[in-house]
Copies of this chain bind each other. A is one copy, B any other.
Amino acid sequence: MFRLAAKMDARSKLLDAALSVIRHKGYSASTVDELCAAAGVTKGAFFHHFRSKDALGVAAADHWSETTSALFAEAAYHRHADPLDRVLAYVDFRKSLLQGGVSDFTCLVGTMVQETYETAPEIRDACDRSISGHAATLVADIEAAMAERGMVATGWTAQSLALHTQAVLQGAFILAKAKGGAEVAADSVDHLRRYIELLFGRVPASQPAHTSTSA
């Protein structure tokens, strides 16, 4: 039997609904009844497919990983010939995603891990897999950009820079939630881009002039 992706069974509907509801209200405040209502299924269906609410949380994080993986895999930023251009285009792509309402562009797993890191280790691990797995997709390009320039980074690695990009994005989402808009997040992503440009010795598009020679 072929499991068609288009077939929206109760499980798929619940996972899609979970992405939306949890991004709006957080994990703890999202009730099973509410998730069922949003998915248009009954509670019986919920507990048929998931042992518990926490099990749904883990599945939702995995579902998020798959959804976002697909989005980034087909994105155009990979097409650049130069690896540094690919990294910068990734940052630009992330900035371009900051559209619509705050709950439309913020990160499910970043939200969930804040609430569950101590109380639900399985969810925390699923969130870590999602974030760290996504960061890992950047490492090869960063390493190539370093190698191309003969850079021997001391004090940081391609891995740590990749994780730093995710930290900036997650933090930008928090500021966007606090301020109720995407602008502050876009500003932070701009700073991230500028950092990467400076780090690799490329002069940022609109770099301030230094007129004094202090220090």
Which residue in B110, B119, B190 is a CB contact (below 8 Å) of A25? B119
Which residues in B have their C-beta under 8 angstroms from that of A80? none
Which residues in B have their C-beta under 8 angstroms from that of A194? 155-156, 195, 199
Q: Is A96 interfacial (CB 8 A cutoff)? A: no
Which residue in B149, B151, B199, B212 is a CB contact (below 8 Å) of A150? B212
Q: Is A172 interfacial (CB 8 A cutoff)? A: yes
In contact, A191 and B161 (Cβ under 8 angstroms): yes
Q: Is A171 interfacial (CB 8 A cutoff)? A: yes
Which residue in B111, B127, B171 is a CB contact (below 8 Å) of A166? B171
Main SS of the interface on chain A?
Answer: helix
- Distance in angstroms from A68 CB to nearest chain B CB is 15
Interface size on A, residues (CB 8 A): 74
Which residues in B have their C-beta under 8 angstroms from that of A174? 110, 113-114, 131, 167, 170-171, 174
User: Can you add 18 more A-B contacts, CB < 8 Å, to A24-B118, A29-B119, A163-B188?
Assistant: A26-B26, A26-B115, A28-B28, A103-B118, A109-B178, A113-B178, A114-B115, A154-B208, A155-B204, A155-B206, A161-B191, A163-B175, A163-B187, A167-B174, A167-B185, A195-B198, A198-B198, A202-B215
